[in-house]
């Protein structure tokens, strides 16, 4: 089982809809969870961090964490074409000798005008 | 407060030459990570460094690749005798660590696009 898994996509949603991006992880000891956005040809940009179970909202973005299910998701409300990008889920691992962040393969999102 | 600075942005090397990629972390960050990304692929971890120490180099190819983060100056990723398969985007990221040990998200630089011809 891979440490961080995401649906590769592409995920296509119409403009104005809710985009739902999902991520599962294997390390039960993980405590820190991140979502990055990467536009084509650009570097990853941190858009959300979440450390506790439940929801965390920031503008049109909501991160949801369920540690019991080892599941973290990102919801994008009122999706815009400018949201079209690859979204990377990242989770800290406590299995290494230091606190290492493991990245998932990313989900490609396309918002159709 | 400048972000993570990488240079050069684009680097073209002929097969067999050396490539040197530089990274200066954000002010206040003492942890540097290097990643490689091939076209249409995910980020691949290469190496994690603190000042004057390599902490984790498990993602580094065994030959031709080396990294350093000296006491003074930027972190350097060095690729000797480059081959076409080394063509990729190389990203550097940095992070702080607080006293409680919480993991913070990484801040990435703009990357160096290496092309081997």
Chain B residues within 8 A of A101 when measuring between CB atoms: 103, 105-106
What percentage of chain A has pLDDT greater than the value 70? 99
| 3-class SS letters over chain B | CCCCEEECCEEEECCCCCEEEEEECCCCCCEEEEEEECCCCCEEEEEEEECCEEEECCCCCCCCEEEECCCCCCEEEEECCCCHHHCEEEEEEEECCCCCCCCCCCEECCCEEEEEC
Task: For A8-20, write each residue's pLDDT tens digit.
Answer: 789 999 999 999 9
The residue behind tokens 């983060």 is B69
- The segments of chain B whose pLDDT lies below 50 read none
Mean pLDDT of A72-100: 91
Residue of A nearest to B9 (CA): A42
B103 touches chain A (CB under 8 A): yes
Residue of chain A minimizing CA distance to B95: A101
Predicted confidence at residue A2, as pLDDT, reads 78
Nearest to B37 by CA among A39, A21, A81: A39
Taking all residues of chain A, what is their mean pLDDT, rounded to a whole number?
A: 93
Across chain B, mean pLDDT equals 92
Cβ burial of A73 (10 Å; 0-12, 13-18, 19+) is middle
Highest mean pLDDT among A6-15, A26-35, A54-63, B32-41: A54-63
């Amino acid at each position: 089982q891979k440490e961080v898994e995401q649906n590769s996509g592409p995920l296509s949603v119409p403009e104005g809809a809710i985009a739902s991006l999902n991520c599962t992880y294997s390390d039960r000891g993980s405590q820190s969870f991140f979502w990055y956005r990467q536009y084509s040809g650009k570097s990853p940009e941190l858009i959300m961090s979440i450390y506790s179970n439940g929801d965390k909202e920031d503008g049109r973005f909501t991160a949801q964490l369920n540690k019991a299910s080892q599941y973290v998701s990102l919801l994008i409300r009122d999706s815009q074409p400018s949201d079209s990008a690859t979204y990377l889920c990242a989770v800290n691992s406590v299995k290494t000798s230091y606190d290492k962040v493991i990245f998932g393969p990313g989900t490609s999102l396309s918002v159709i005008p | 407060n400048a972000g993570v600075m990488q240079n050069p942005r684009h680097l073209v090397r002929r097969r067999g030459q050396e490539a040197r990629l530089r990274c200066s972390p954000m002010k206040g960050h003492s942890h540097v990570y290097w990643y490689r990304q091939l076209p249409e692929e995910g980020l691949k971890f290469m190496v994690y460094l603190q000042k004057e120490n390599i902490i984790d180099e498990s993602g580094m190819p065994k030959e031709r690749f080396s990294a350093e983060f000296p006491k003074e100056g930027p972190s350097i990723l060095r690729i000797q005798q480059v081959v076409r398969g080394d063509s990729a985007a190389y990203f550097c990221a940095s992070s702080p660590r607080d006293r409680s040990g919480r993991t913070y998200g990484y801040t990435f630089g703009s990357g160096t696009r290496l092309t081997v011809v």
